Amino acid sequence: MSKKLRVATTSLAGCFGCHMSFLDIDERLLTLLDLVEFDRSPINDIKHCGPCDIGIIEGGVCNAENVHVLREFRSHCKILIAIGACAINGGLPAQRNHLDLGSCLTEVYLTEPGLEHGHIPNDPELPLPLDKVHPLHEVVKIDYFIPGCPPSGDAIWKFLTDLIAGKTPELGHGLIKYD
Amino acid sequence: MSDTFQLDGAAVPFEPGQTVMQAALAAGHYIPHLCYHPEFKPHGSCKLCTVKVNGRTTASCTMPAEANLNVESNIEELNALRRTLVQMLFAEGNHFCPSCEKSGNCMLQALGYDLEVHATGFRHLYPDRPLDASHPDVLLDFNRCILCELCVRASSEVDGKNVFALSGRGITKHLIVNAESGKLSDTDFALYDKAMQVCPVGVILPKRVGFSQPIGERRYDKRPISAQALDDAPRQVDTSGNCEACEDPT
């Protein structure tokens, strides 16, 4: 058998819902593991992405760390896939995009009732938020997109097996979803 | 026997006065469309229904049917352009399907599905478009407006109320409410208005009924828009000249 494809996955400004949906391929994970091995992924807790054939990224880009991780994936992965609404169009986090970031932080941490002696978090360990939330394709070149919030396990399975088989992935009615 | 034209190699019969779109839908041939509505005069603005007629591109909803036209529609060249149009509409507004009450019943979304649009690919504009929740029964979410003017047409032509209009030009063009305050509550708009029913996307929404249809049972969950649109279209007239599906048999 030919060498296994190396796959890395991560979540940026996402909710890990797409990763949960990925696990929804259920026992087909075992079939997939005959074809691929995992690099950086929440499944194994590897911290940095090495050379890979496929990178799968959930979530958009909302802070400086997201940019670094996304660029690391792009430089190490031959094929980069954006998975889910947030990675494709910013999704829920991007609902702040028509608002001023400063006023968002002030509203949440200073003026909203319930936070006594609150202050806007400023620990140097925290990555700085970006002015706007960006879809992945606005930051690096993305090769494929799997839409959905989240895409179903069946959609992810169809997409990945098409891709691994060397075909242009197609979802078709019932599998392609934006919600 | 009526004349015919060719659509993607099939002979399509037509009656005098029909457009290419009307004749095609009546004969069971789907041409993608968004601003066209069988009950209204064609608008020709969305350009999703663009076809090649004898080699030249034109909107099939406004093109009068003529004998022996050679019409091409379902070809990759045109479908690629249609994909780009859908992508630009998504990038221009704030179309966040997961939180939209119209999701599953939305024509723009269903067209994206049918054309296998996986992503917009463009830089999103994320415009700031505040809601109008002033009306007791109706919510207006301008974030999703695609400027098809169906509500404008329905409100003036059918309801006789002239509640909606488009204002501005180019990228600043937007839907407005014809009231001094600009608020829907200051018009005589009502739930039973035709304009309430025609929005192809999620701009004009009845309050307090959101998400009442479960996922899996919504309009385009069951069938792709290419199949659904044919069911909705007025069918070919029978020999007595009556068309059962037409609300207005004239």
Which domains, from first to last, does chain A contain?
Answer: 5-96+128-164 (3.40.50.700)
Give how far A47 is from chain B: nearest CA, Å.
Answer: 29
| Residue A142 contacts B, CB cutoff 8 Å | yes
Task: State pLDDT tens for residues A17-42.
Answer: 999 999 999 999 999 999 999 999 99
Facing B103 at nearest CB: one of A90, A135, A179: A179
What number of residues does chain B have? 250
Confidence of residue B236 (pLDDT cuts 50, 70, 90): low
Size of interface A-B (CB pairs under 8 A): 78
Asked if pLDDT for residue A44 goes beyond 70, the answer is yes
| Residue A156 contacts B, CB cutoff 8 Å | no
CA distance A15 to A58: 8
State which amino acid sits at residue A129: P
B178 and B152 in contact (C-beta within 8 Å)? no
Q: Which of B30, B103, B124, B225 to mutate to test the interface with A (most CBs of A within 10 A)?
A: B124
Nearest of B82, B136, B142 to residue B114 by alpha carbon: B82
CA distance B99 to A159: 25
Q: How far is CA A111 from CA A84, A152, B39, in A?
A: 33, 39, 51
- B201 burial level (CB within 10 Å; 0-12, 13-18, 19+): buried
CA distance A62 to A148: 19
Chain A residues whose CB is inside 8 A of the B116 CB are 170-172, 176
- CATH architecture of the domain B4-74 equals Roll (3.10)
Residues of chain B with CATH 3.30.70.20: 80-222
The backbone region for B244, taken as left when phi is positive above 0, alpha when psi lies in -120 to 50, beta otherwise, is: alpha
Q: Return the higher-pLDDT residue of A11 and B236.
A: A11
Give how far A138 is from chain B: nearest CA, Å.
Answer: 6
pLDDT of residue A69: 97
Chain B residues whose CB is inside 8 A of the A14 CB are none
Chain B residues whose CB is inside 8 A of the A178 CB are 95, 97-98, 103, 109, 112-113
Give how far B224 is from chain A: nearest CA, Å.
Answer: 6
Contact partners, residue B80, CB within 8 Å, separation at least 6? none
Both tokens of residue A106? 């002030």
Confidence of residue A45 (pLDDT cuts 50, 70, 90): confident
Decide if domain B80-222 falls under CATH 3.30.70.20.
yes
pLDDT of residue B1: 55
Give how far B84 is from chain A: nearest CA, Å.
Answer: 15
Facing A138 at nearest CB: one of B100, B118, B123: B123
- Beta carbons of B116 and A132 less than 8 Å apart: no
Residue B223 neighbours by CB distance under 10 Å: 14
- Beta carbons of B127 and A142 less than 8 Å apart: no
| Residue A167 contacts B, CB cutoff 8 Å | no
- Beta carbons of A173 and B103 less than 8 Å apart: no
Q: Which of B90, B118, B201, B218 to mutate to test the interface with A (most CBs of A within 10 A)?
A: B118
Task: State pLDDT tens for residues A117-173.
Answer: 788 999 999 999 999 999 999 999 999 999 999 999 999 999 999 999 999 999 999
Cis peptide before B136 (omega within 30 of 0): no
pLDDT of residue B234: 72
Nearest of B53, B54, B34 to residue B44 by alpha carbon: B34
What's phi and psi for B204, nearest 5 deg? -100, 105
- Beta carbons of B127 and A177 less than 8 Å apart: no
What's phi and psi for B141, nearest 5 deg? -115, 95
Residues of chain B with CATH 3.10.20.740: 4-74
Residue B85 neighbours by CB distance under 10 Å: 18
Confidence of residue B240 (pLDDT cuts 50, 70, 90): very low
- HEC states along chain A? CCCCEEEEEEECECCCHHHHHHHCCCCHHHHHHHHEEECCCCCCCCCCCCCEEEEEEECEEEEHHHHHHHHHHHHHEEEEEEECHHHHHCCHHHHHCCCCHHHHHHHHHHHCCCCCCCCCCCCCCCCCEEEEEECHHHCCCCCEEECCCCCCHHHHHHHHHHHHCCCCCCCCCCCCCCC
pLDDT of residue B72: 98
Name the pTM for this structure.
Answer: 0.93
| Residue A178 contacts B, CB cutoff 8 Å | yes
- Beta carbons of B127 and A173 less than 8 Å apart: no
- Beta carbons of B126 and A92 less than 8 Å apart: no
State which amino acid sits at residue B239: T
Mean pLDDT of chain B: 92
Confidence of residue B248 (pLDDT cuts 50, 70, 90): very low
Q: Do the bridges between strand B10-13 and strand B4-7 make them parallel or antiparallel, or are there none, so unpaired?
A: antiparallel
Report the share of chain A in percent with pLDDT over 90: 89
A118 and A109 in contact (C-beta within 8 Å)? yes
- Beta carbons of B124 and A146 less than 8 Å apart: no
Element (H, E) at B88: helix B76-92
- What DSSP state is assigned to residue B51? E
